[in-house]
Structure 1
Amino acid sequence: MGKKVKRTHRGSSNRRISSHNKPSQRQKRGNRSGKKKIIKSRLFLMLFIVFIFFFAVGRLVWTGHKNAQAKKALEEAQNQKSIEVMEEKKRNVINVAIDAAKGGINEGMTAYRGSHKEKDINLEIAKFIKDNLSGQEDINVIMVRAYDEDKKLADRVAYAKKNQADLYISVRLSAQSGRNDASGIDTYYISPENIDYSSLDKSKEESASKDIKTNSSSNELVGKDDINEKSKSEKEKTIKPERDNLSKLLAENIQNTTISYIEMRDRGILDKKFDILNYTQMPAVIVQCGFISNKDDAEKLENEKYQQDIAQGISEGILKFVDENRKAIIKDRINYR
């Protein structure tokens, strides 16, 4: 009998193994589901990254815009502050009108036994005052007469008013007719009772004089005379006291400082009505720098160094007055000009 060969069923076993490794339908569905989850996760991650990128870019743009706005606002605030500072400085600048009396064909008196004319000495002193004050940041000098020209009183006042002068200083010399013994320096201002207030604002006076009002208590007509009396009374309570005070203080300061610089008789300050004082709408004084008819005064006035000393005294008097009364000067400017 022949030997039996044992069958190993290798093929069958291999088929079983193959059958065991082959994925089932459930596994296939699971694999597809897993792949989808991975794709979704990756897509979500990509979208998240894109979102973060655009968010960061948007944040940078927004921050840059806000910074630009903040910078612009800061610059505008700084500019506004600079403008306010400049306006404040401008408000604090005091306009000083210096008027050299005489001029042109109106030569005035000639110095005692000399060749210098009154108009020339006045102008030289006025120019020295201008030079002294021009270096001050808070002072603006207005030269009413800057060269040899004849100006009428009305033109001088109009020029000062046009240039918004806060103070008016008229530089003049005194003279004595027929005699030559009077000497010295004095400064004039005008008191309230001497001021012709109707000349300061004629239009208001004329308007008020035309009005007719009824007195409710007596049913009588109140006309021109009554209105003028009322206007006069109101002005005495408001304009007159302050105007008088500033002009007098200005005169005192100029007289005192000028005398400290020169050797000349101190004639003090005087309350007197001069046309130029009566019609100026700002605190004003007339400085009579000496008697050109007096030999000693005339010799001094012809000397350039003496002219400079007088101008220095007047200049320091003006500056002292401004430093002590700046607020009052600005208030006077606002209320009355």
Structure 2
Amino acid sequence: MKIMLDAGHGYNTPGKRSPDGMIEYEFNRAVALHARSLLQNYQNVTVYFAHSDNRDVPLQERTNNANSLNVDIYVSIHANAFGSGGWTSASGIETYIYTSKPRIALQLAQKIQRNLVAETGLPNRGVKTADFHVLRETKMDGVLVECGFMTNQNDLKLLRSEEYRRTIAEGIVKAVSDQFNLKRKSNPSPPSTSGLYKVQAGAFKAKKNADDLATKLRSAGYTPYVYQENGYYKVQVGAFERKQNADSLVSKLRNEGYETVIFLD
């Protein structure tokens, strides 16, 4: 099965940010990275990205790529906004499909909506229809997920959290798995991060030590992953296409007392 994940917008898209400056794309791409890592644990699944960290990919190019690759499902990931630039009370999760209500897209959207509302506790704004380009111009079934409001201060705290981003990715992937009856690999491998800058917080001979560190990091709001390589249990905290993002995480972790390293895989 071929899946295209679309982190909406880009680093330089005008206006797509919270009143205090969080760029929407930061959230969207983080969820897409988590989702790709999770999907790699399923058999016969290939994941493509519609977006790029290097430039704002035009909508037509995104849908053209999806169509030329003949992917089976298109999932566009977003954070919502309301009003003219200030803080508002609008809050919650909503999922969109095209106006013709394609059957498979509707079923998937309902599963995504149900999962995300249950796992986040945010208001259920429902499954809706819209004439969005990525839903209209894709030849395959597509859904667009709005995962909380950047213009709501409480929602924004969640949108900034790595734990919340992981939770959103898990809800989306579970819905895709359920909808298409994906089969898990018998021996899942660690997330593929080829070509990415990896942030590592520790490497241990004893798995318990790695698990203990992962638990500590998780309680601090991070999303660690423990995997075995070259006789060591390694604790990975992040993987980024841009080195500056990895550097930022390393600096934050070191300020909190963690011994971290960064390397290009």
TM superposition score category, shorter chain reference: 0.5 to 0.7
CA distance, structure 2, for counterparts of residue 177 and residue 188 of structure 1: 20
Q: How does 1:218-229 map to 2 (within 5 A)?
A: none
Structure 1 residue 110 and structure 2 residue 21: aligned? no
Return the structure number with greater strand share: 2
Count of paired positions: 180
Structure 1, residues 227-269: CA drift from partner, whole Å, max 9, x if none? xxxxxxxxxxxxxxxx711111111111111222212111110
Listed one character per residue, the Cα deviations across residues 90-113 of structure 1 (whole Å, up to 9, x for unaligned) are xxxx11100001114215432343
Q: Does 1:96 align with 2:3?
A: yes
SS at match of 1:126: helix
For residues 141-193 of structure 1, the C-alpha deviation after alignment (integer angstroms, 9 at most, x for no partner) is 1111142420111100011112221100000111012351111010000132x
Could you tell me whether the CA contact under 8 Å between 1:258 and 1:314 is conserved in 2?
A: yes
1:143 to 2:1 alignment: no
Q: Which residue of 1 aligns with 2:139?
A: 281
More relative contact order in 1 or in 2 (CA 8 Å, sep 6+)?
1
Q: State the distance in 1 between where 2:177 and 2:44 align.
A: 10
2-side partners of 1:117 and 1:290: how far apart? 14
TM-score by length of 2: 0.64
- 2:163 maps to what in 1? 305
1:242-321 alignment, distance < 5 Å? 244-321=102-179
* Partner secondary structure for residue 129 of structure 1: helix
Cα deviations by residue, 1:184-243 (Å, 9 ceiling, x for unpaired): 010000132xxxxxxxxxxxxxxxxxxxxxxxxxxxxxxxxxxxxxxxxxxxxxxxxxx7
CA distance in 1 between partners of 2:47 and 2:39 (Å): 7
Equivalent runs, 1:47-126 vs 2, <5 Å = 94-106=1-13, 108-113=15-20, 115-126=21-32
- Number of the residue aligned with 1:81: none
Residues 1:189 and 2:97 are matched in the alignment: yes
* Equivalence for 1:153: 59
- Distance (Å, rounded) in 1 between the aligned partners of 2:54 and 2:8: 10
Provide the rounded CA distance (Å) in 2 between the counterparts of 1:293 and 1:244: 31
Q: Distance in 1 between matches of 2:180 and 2:14?
A: 32
Q: CA RMSD in A?
A: 1.7
Q: Is the 1:130–1:141 Cα contact (8 Å) retained in structure 2?
A: yes
When residues 301 and 104 of structure 1 are mapped into structure 2, their CA distance, relative to the original with a 3 A threshold, is closer
Question: Is contact 2:2–2:72 with CA below 8 Å preserved after alignment?
Answer: yes
Aligned AA for 2:83?
Answer: S
Structure 2 SS opposite 1:297: helix
Residues 259, 266 of structure 1: 8 Å contact kept: yes
Give yes or no for contact 1:190–1:272 (8 Å, CA) kept in 2: yes
Instruction: Please report the TM-score for the alignment, with normalisation by the length of structure 1.
Output: 0.51
Structure whose CA Rg is larger: 1
Q: Is the 8 A contact 1:260 1:313 kept in 2?
A: no
Aligned residues with identical type, % of pairs: 26
CA–CA distance in 1 between the matches of 2:67 and 2:80?
Answer: 26
Per-residue CA distance 1:29-61 (angstroms, 9 max, x = gap)? xxxxxxxxxxxxxxxxxxxxxxxxxxxxxxxxx
SS in 1 for 2:42: coil
Could you tell me how far 1:319 is from its partner in structure 2?
A: 0.7
Q: State the distance in 2 between where 1:137 and 1:102 align.
A: 30
Q: Which amino acid aligns with 1:101?
A: G
